[in-house]
Structure formats: C-alpha cells, structure tokens
A and B are shown apart, each in its own frame.
Chain A
Amino acid sequence: MPIDILMPALSPTMTEGKIARWLKAVGDNVKSGDVLAEIETDKATMEVEAVDEGKLDKILVPEGTEGVKVNTPIATLAGDGEAAKPAPKAEAKLEPAAKPAPAAAPAMPKAPAAPAAAEYSGPTTMMTVREALRDAMAEEMRRDEKVFLMGEEVAQYQGAYKISQGLLQEFGDRRVVDTPITEQGFAGLAVGAAFMGLRPIVEFMTFNFSMQAIDQVINSAAKTLYMSGGQMGCPIVFRGPNGAAARVAAQHSQCYASWYAHCPGLKVVSPYTAGDAKGLLKSAIRDPNPVIFLENEVLYGQSFEVPSGGDHVVPIGKARIARQGEHVTITAFSLMVKYALEAAEMLAAEGISAEVIDLRSLRPLDTETIVASVKKTNRFVSVEEGWPYAGIGSELLAVMMEQAFDYLDAPPVRITGLDVPMPYAANLEKLTLPSAVKIADAAKAVCYRA
C-alpha cells in the first residue's frame, strides 16, 4: 500500500513553502532518516527526512514549485511489504545557519492588500512586512552613521525571523552586532550607547524575552530624561515580534502593548501593514526618545502595497482609518486589524457599516481620530490580542467615558485575548484569541442587532 509523504510544517507559523530540490529520484530506495528534499520557507531552507521506508514511487510536486500548502501530499512511497503505518508523515530537521536562503524570492502567503494610506497617492511596490522592516533599517543606517542594530542572531544568522537579511553584508559587524543571549545586559548596554548619542535598534528575538530587560527599558531608557531635568535623552528603538505566534504556549505568546504603553517616557507603536511597518520604523529610529516597536510574527510574510516614491515616513501618534463606516467604530492594532477588516466585511453583508481604525500608535494614542469616529457612529468596539485586565481596551473605554459619553448609544465593548495564560492545545488556543466572528458579534451587539 503506497504511503503519502506530506508537505511538513517547519515552523509554528508556516502555512506553505517551496519545494526547492528533490534529493531522491523516482525509483530510489528510501531509508528512514534519508534526506528526501529541501524546502524553502520565507525564513529558511530546511531538509526533510524520511520517516517511512520503501521505494520512491511518485513525485507529486516537482522541484521549484512555490506555495505548496502544509499537509499536501508531495510524493508517495511504495510500501516494502510491511503494513502501512497509519499516519505517514515527513519529519523536518532544522538546519540553522548552514544555508542562507538562496537568492530566489521565497514564496509569500498572499494577504489582501490593505487600502493605501489616504494621504499617499504616489507609486507603490508590493512587499512583505519582513522586507519593509529590513528596508526601513537599511535606509536609516545609510542615512545616519549613528544607527546600529544589535540583538540575538541579527548578523550572521540574518535574523531569527530574517528581518535583518543582508544587513551584515551591507553594513559590517561594527553596525550589525550579534549579542550573547543576555537581554538585560544588551538592553542596558544599548541604553548606555544611546545616552552617548548613538541610535541603537535593539531586536528582541521576541518581546517575551524583553521581560528579562524590562528594568533597563523602563527605569533606565524611559525615565532618565525626566530624572536628569532634560539632559539625558535616550534615542533607542526596541523592536521584535509581539504577541501570539502559533502553538508556542504561555511563555512565548504574550502581548506587551499595555505593559509598555503604561509608562510615561516611552512611545509605543504596533503597525499592521507593510507600509506602516516601514514608515513607522523609520520614524521610530529618527525619534529622539525610546520607542517600543511591536511587530507580529504572523504578519512578517504578508504582502502589502508600500509607497516607493522617496522617503516614506509615517508619523508616530496618528491612527489610520482602514475602512470607513457609519454604524460602529472598531479599533484594532497589528494583526487584529486584519480580523477587524474581515469582521467589517461580514457586517457589511448584514447591512452594518463598520468603521475600522488601525491605531498604529498606542502611546501617544490618537484619541482625536477615535473620538471623532465614535461621535459619528455612536458605538464602539475595541479589539486587542492581549489580556483584558488593565489592557489597551480598558484605556480606550475610559477615553469613551471621558470624551464621548454623551455620544454613545450602547455600552462600549472590549474584544481581547481571554484572561488566561496561553494554552498549547490547538482548540484552546483558538478559543483564547480574538477572531473575526467574535468581533462581528460584538459589533452586532452594540448595534442591538445580535
């Protein structure tokens, strides 16, 4: 009985990949542990090893094919007479650093292009959030000799999530600095360098690890300007993926938006589109203050139109109306904007016109844009991935009470991640996170259309 070999998932967030090369040909005998093929994701090239034994019977997906979905059969093995195993599956072996991704553009999952920012009407290029972040850093490093990047795996490995791809080659190891795994140490070191007038970009491999460094971020970076009577500015960017990726459980799936937005002396931004990722990162690097730049791993591979004419800078502190509407205002940031836009589509089908605001900046918060929208729609839903207690939504609802109370036709509602440490099990994780359906339901409820 033939055994299917399936396209393996090589990382928690991988949904598809490219068959770069077959290392076995039809008719070859395959033993358990043999390398069958090389698969390219947007992050790396990995080898796929055989788990089952037999003769390679058919190659279903030829090499060079892009966008092969996880779990698609890619080849079949003719059984060698043994009973076929019930769940035949290829197993991935991670091969870090050995092979930098080849020059060929890796396959990217296609995301719906977000509407271009209203104020920009020039030429655009389609690019991923990952490329946009890299370009922002490269452009600012070319512009200012004082800008440098430091963090774990940012240089030789080309970035744990490949955000810094090519930067070592262009700027050298003086300005693209691999650090030991020592968050508190290198965050504090970068703060000292910023006090001296350099402009460090500190990459946290994920923001979960920034908790090791949070004393330096808040007590040293955020407060020193005030404590020095304005003498000691700290022009620094702390950036990296924030929030839940997929199936990495409680310690690696936390949203730090409200943690950092709580603190005077910091600016906190969290873009959704690639254009905003680029424009806001450039602003953050130029900003004379410490900026927390919250990215999202799930968005890295998604593509958007990005302004390509000239120096694309997005000011910190301005929200973006991602979709205009009349009946209800939905605010969101980062990946949640995608869900909010999907919810708005569902609502439109039911005759509810939702206005979706991409907050982009969490501190300072563009209350003017949000309040103006609520004065028009009279109904408000806040969406965030993080916990509800003392979250961004709590702040937004307080703003509603203080600045839009008389305009509200229904009590505002928060959609948040549930008030639990992130569970590992797929079904529980799904329940924990916001979804387009939950957002649409909340919007209907505030419109009394439930």
Chain B
Amino acid sequence: MAKTKKGERSGEGKTVPVGELLKYYRDMLLIRRFEERAGQLYGMGLIGGFCHLYIGQEAVVVGMQAAITGDDAVVTSYRDHGHMLACGMDPRGVMAELTGRIGGYSKGKGGSMHMFSREKNFFGGHGIVAAQVPIGTGIAFAHKYSGHKRVSLTYFGDGAVNQGQVYESFNMAALWKLPCIYVIENNKYAMGTSVERSAAGQALAERGAAYGIPGEQVDGMDVLAVKEAGERVVAAAKAGEGPAILEVMTYRYRGHSMSDPAKYRTKEEVDKMRTERDPINLVRDLLLAQGKSEDDLKKIDKEIRDIVADAADFAQTSPEPPESELYTDILVEA
C-alpha cells in the first residue's frame, strides 16, 4: 500500500560516527564553495547561458549518495552541479564544462545543463523539465533486464512533478516493479511559481499513490534524515519491491538561474532558512558537539577552497574546444 509519512529529525539521540559526519561536511561544503565560485565566474562572463545553482540543497544529494553504491545510477535535471560532485566527478571537469572548455566533461559541448559520466554512472544533466524521469525509469528497466541488483536514483523538482511523463513513468515503474527511486527535490518554487500556486492536492510524496508507489516526505536540510530514508527505499528496491518516492523538502538560496532576481519570495524567508536550517551548519554543529575544534573545521574549509580554486583555474586555462570538435560526436562511427 502507498503510504506517506513524515521523516523524523535525526542526529538527535543517536551518535553518528565522526568520520561519516566529516565526509558529509566536506562533500556539502565542496558543493557550496563550488557553486559560489560558479556564480562568481558567471558574473565575470566566463560562464554563459543558463546556470542553475544548488546552494542550499546540498544535503539532498550528499545524503542520497550515502545510501547507494558506485554501481547504482543517478540522473537529474539541469540543476545538476551538486549531483555530479556528489557522484565523485572531478570538480575540474565540471567547472571547465561550465566555462565551455575542452577539459570539460562534454568537451565544452554540453554546458551547465548537459554533463554526463559513464565512469561514475551519472546519466545527466537534462535540460527539458521532467525528460529525465522516463530516462531514469529506463535505466532501472535496464538494471532489471540485466539481472543487476542496482537502483536508478531519478531526481526531479517540484515543477517537473506536474509533467505528464512523470506519471507515465510511475505507471510503468510500478507495473514492472522497476528499481527506481524518484527523488522529488521540493525547493518550494518552480522557477518563480510556488508549489501552492502550481500543485493541486496534498504532499507531492503522495503523487504515486494511485500507482501503489509508497511515498515519504523527508527533511532535506538534514543530511542524516535524507540518508536514512534513502537507505530504506534503496534496500527495498534492491529487494525487488519496486519503485519508491521521496519528497525531499529543501530550499535554494539563490534564484532559479543566475538571471533570476527571485522577487517572488521575501528576503526574510531566505534569511530564515539560511540562519536556522542551513544543512552545512547542522553538520558543523554536530561535529563541534562531538569534540571537533573550530581549527579542525577550518582546515577542511581550506582544503575545499583549494580544490575549488584549482578547478576554477583549470576552467579558465583549459583551451576552448578546437573547431575540429564541431562535427564530432554527432553519430557514433560504426
């Protein structure tokens, strides 16, 4: 039976190993600093086109990634930088793709919204809202067809959730018991339209109820809560129980894209989230409570800043793709 329940706050009353917390802290901080730098490079005109930053949502991908293995697949929308870093893709290759250079993951031909890594089982980076949902479902189909006990983490937003192809996918995934985890990143706004103004009905987690797909709301600002929920649904999918939906309640601090001034929400709303619910500060507080010092964390901050500075440097020095790249990769030469 489909059921929806509230994920409980975690990190309270349980001890999480320091090593695990440190990894989450480091991974989330990398995304935060990387995105801040991407925003800066965009402002300098080094990154063009659409650029959708992930700042504020870091706990979602870091928590989910902790629930899967490297053999599982990940696919998402155009707000994809965080997912790629969480999958272990090289920050240099991601940043150089943003600047449209040959050292980028797509040799500069994809850009911010279209990046992939076969090696890391990251299947994009899709620019059409919700197009990745059937694709992620097909990845799960292939896992099942091939007899592999692997899942497909298929991410989409609270805007995509209203697209018809999402329900076509839910139907087939439930019908064929595909190991697909649908992660709805609910950051409250589909570009400028709030969920209240675009989504009828109750929680988005219940959108699979008609197909018998269990759904659950999870606190997406708490990496531990995300990981716990993720582990549960991933284990069920790998045991052959079929798809599941996690509606992860999150928040983006920046506009929809770099060109969005985000006038549709108040400064107070954003400030409140940043000061009271920041996912990185939550882990930082847990680490300090477990005896880590400010200096220990500063050391990590410095490491991360160095990685990001190196990536930004690479992204500016890697050459633009040669003109000979124009006509390559259109077809696979048999």
B117 pairs with A231, CB closer than 8 A: yes
B139 pairs with A195, CB closer than 8 A: yes
What separation, in Å, do the CA atoms of A265 and B331 have in the docked complex? 6
B105 pairs with A192, CB closer than 8 A: no
CB distance from B82 to the nearest CB of A (A): 19
The tally of residues in B whose CB lies under 8 Å from a CB in A reads 48
A188 pairs with B141, CB closer than 8 A: no
Query: Digit string of B184-216 for contact with A (CB within 8 Å is 1, else 0)?
Result: 000000000000000000000000000000000
B138 pairs with A188, CB closer than 8 A: yes
Query: Interface residue tally of chain A, by bracket?
Result: 35 or more
* Interfacial chain B residues near A287, Cβ < 8 Å: 334
A189 pairs with B107, CB closer than 8 A: no
Query: Digit string of A199-241 for contact with B (CB within 8 Å is 1, else 0)?
Result: 0000000000000000110011000111111111101000000
Q: A148-B145, A187-B134, A215-B131 are in contact. Are A226 and B329 (CB under 8 A)?
A: yes
Q: Does B289 contact A (CB under 8 A)?
A: no
CB distance from B60 to the nearest CB of A (A): 21
Q: A174-B145, A191-B138, A198-B145 are in contact. Are A219 and B127 (CB under 8 A)?
A: yes
Q: Does A186 contact B (CB under 8 A)?
A: yes
Q: Which of A74-82, A101-109, A177-185, A424-432 participates in binding chain B?
A: A177-185
Q: Does A288 contact B (CB under 8 A)?
A: yes
What separation, in Å, do the CA atoms of A154 and B73 have in the docked complex? 29
A227 pairs with B330, CB closer than 8 A: no
What separation, in Å, do the CA atoms of A289 and B143 have in the docked complex? 21
Q: Does A92 contact B (CB under 8 A)?
A: no
Q: A182-B168, A225-B331 are in contact. Are A232 and B128 (CB under 8 A)?
A: no
Query: Digit string of A84-121 for contact with B (CB within 8 Å is 1, else 0)?
Result: 00000000000000000000000000000000000000
A220 pairs with B131, CB closer than 8 A: yes
What separation, in Å, do the CA atoms of A194 and B143 have in the docked complex? 12
Q: Does B1 contact A (CB under 8 A)?
A: no
Closest to B327 in A: A264
B118 pairs with A231, CB closer than 8 A: yes
Q: Does A401 contact B (CB under 8 A)?
A: no
* Interfacial chain B residues near A219, Cβ < 8 Å: 127-128, 131
Q: Does B256 contact A (CB under 8 A)?
A: no
CB distance from A189 to the nearest CB of B (A): 4
Q: Which of B169-177, B259-267, B308-316 participates in binding chain A?
A: B169-177
A232 pairs with B118, CB closer than 8 A: yes
What separation, in Å, do the CA atoms of A94 and B94 have in the docked complex? 57
Q: Does B332 contact A (CB under 8 A)?
A: yes
* Interfacial chain A residues near B171, Cβ < 8 Å: 180, 182, 185
Q: Does A190 contact B (CB under 8 A)?
A: yes
Q: Does A67 contact B (CB under 8 A)?
A: no
* Interfacial chain B residues near A265, Cβ < 8 Å: 330-331
Q: Does B116 contact A (CB under 8 A)?
A: yes
Closest to A194 in B: B138
Q: Does A267 contact B (CB under 8 A)?
A: yes
CB distance from A207 to the nearest CB of B (A): 19
B138 pairs with A228, CB closer than 8 A: no
What separation, in Å, do the CA atoms of A241 and B75 have in the docked complex? 32
CB distance from B69 to the nearest CB of A (A): 16
Q: Does B26 contact A (CB under 8 A)?
A: no
Q: Does A348 contact B (CB under 8 A)?
A: no
A220 pairs with B135, CB closer than 8 A: yes
CB distance from A333 to the nearest CB of B (A): 20
* Interfacial chain B residues near A233, Cβ < 8 Å: 332
* Interfacial chain A residues near B139, Cβ < 8 Å: 192-193, 195-196
CB distance from B133 to the nearest CB of A (A): 7
Q: Does A197 contact B (CB under 8 A)?
A: yes
A230 pairs with B329, CB closer than 8 A: yes
Known: A191-B135, A226-B329. 19 other contacts (CB 8 A): A180-B172, A182-B171, A184-B164, A192-B152, A198-B142, A198-B146, A216-B135, A220-B131, A220-B135, A226-B110, A227-B124, A229-B105, A229-B108, A230-B332, A231-B105, A231-B118, A232-B116, A232-B118, A265-B330
Residues of A whose CB lies within 8 Å of any CB of B are: 148, 174, 179-180, 182, 184-198, 215-216, 219-220, 224-233, 235, 264-265, 267, 286-289
Residues of B whose CB lies within 8 Å of any CB of A are: 73, 75, 104-110, 114-118, 123-128, 131, 133-143, 145-146, 152, 164-165, 168-169, 171-172, 175, 328-332, 334
